[in-house]
Amino acid sequence: MSKGRVEVGSVSKNFSLGGSKTVDILDNISFSAKANEFLSIVGPSGSGKSTLLKCMSGLLKPTSGTIAINSVDPYSLKPSHLAKMRRSEIGFIFQSYNLVPALPVFENISLPLRLSRKSIDKSVVEEMLRKMNFNAELTSFVDTLSGGEQQKVAIARVLVTHPQIIFADEPTGAVDAESKQIIFNILRKLADEGACVIMVTHDVDLAAMTDKALVLKNGQIRQTLTGSSASEILAEIERK
């Protein structure tokens, strides 16, 4: 079985607006990402980047087309098997963090491991947060943290599970410039060590440092850029 691989085949997604009205968000998208690869998805707000990431990761069934995660269609699985696949093979860093507000930092980060009945080493969590310049306490409730601190908790929660495939939706959207570079370096290292990393970002400087930047516009992948500079990527995003 090919590990750390995601294949997107002719995926379209539309949303119902009530009655017979629908809105088309993704239009016949095909590409794949594999182990050791760090891919970025860029495009204007509302172009469907988060929708695409959710479709790719088993969170949102496409209207048509196919998704294969390590050669398996996640939407063909029973809910319990899909949940297991998502726990064991995938990490998803949400744009909106999706933390549990009623739990402290450490409990939020250890939750996925507890669900998988794996042990959790407090010093590993501390070290991961320290690397990201996280300054709050492990005992703080996450709803008392700043947006940037919550984002770091959301990232740590995914990284402690060592996923083969990491979906990161704007993982640096709320953090300062130094933390942004640190988080990028962490994701880069994971890809270099064998993970497949797919990151949505508005930051063209970061996109330029990934292996491939997919430019999403009007529901389609307009360009796949390799070795392009930040200004070249920006020009593609803004091109009519």
Binding region for Mg ion (CB under 5 A): 49-50, 95
How many residues sit in the footprint of ligand ATP (CB under 6 A)?
Answer: 12
Smallest gap, in angstroms, from Cβ of residue 181 to ligand ATP? 21
Smallest gap, in angstroms, from Cβ of residue 53 to ligand ATP? 8
- Counting other chains too, the contacts that 24-28 makes at CB distance below 8 Å and 24 or more residues apart are 24/219, 25/51, 25/219, 26/51, 26/52, 26/55, 26/62, 26/219, 27/218, 27/219, 27/220, 28/65, 28/220
Taking CB within 5 to 8 Å according to partner kind, which of Mg ion, ligand ATP, none is near residue 47? ligand ATP
CB nearer Mg ion, residue 4 or residue 219: 219
CB nearer ligand ATP, residue 4 or residue 203: 203
Reduce the DSSP state of residue 235 to 3 states and report it.
helix
CA atoms 163, 167, 172, 173: torsion sign: negative
Smallest gap, in angstroms, from Cβ of residue 40 to Mg ion? 13
CA atoms 136, 138, 142, 147: torsion sign: positive
CB nearer ligand ATP, residue 24 or residue 126: 24
| Interhelix angle 147-159/105-115, nearest 10 degrees | 20
Smallest gap, in angstroms, from Cβ of residue 117 to ligand ATP? 33
Q: CA gyration radius for the chain?
A: 18
Smallest gap, in angstroms, from Cβ of residue 50 to ligand ATP? 3
3-state helix, strand, coil in the chain (%, to 5): 35, 25, 35
CB nearer ligand ATP, residue 113 or residue 214: 214
Q: Which of 227, 166, 198 is nearest to 49 (CA)?
A: 198
Within residues 40-79, the interface with ligand ATP by CB under 6 A covers 43, 45-51
Is position 201 an interface residue for ligand ATP (rule: CB under 6 A)? no
The one-letter amino acid at 164: Q
Smallest gap, in angstroms, from Cβ of residue 165 to ligand ATP? 19
Dmax (CA) of the chain: 54
CB nearer ligand ATP, residue 78 or residue 240: 240
Altogether, the residues listed in the chain come to a count of 240
CB nearer Mg ion, residue 69 or residue 168: 168
Residues near ligand ATP, by CB under 6 A: 15, 23, 25, 43, 45-51, 95
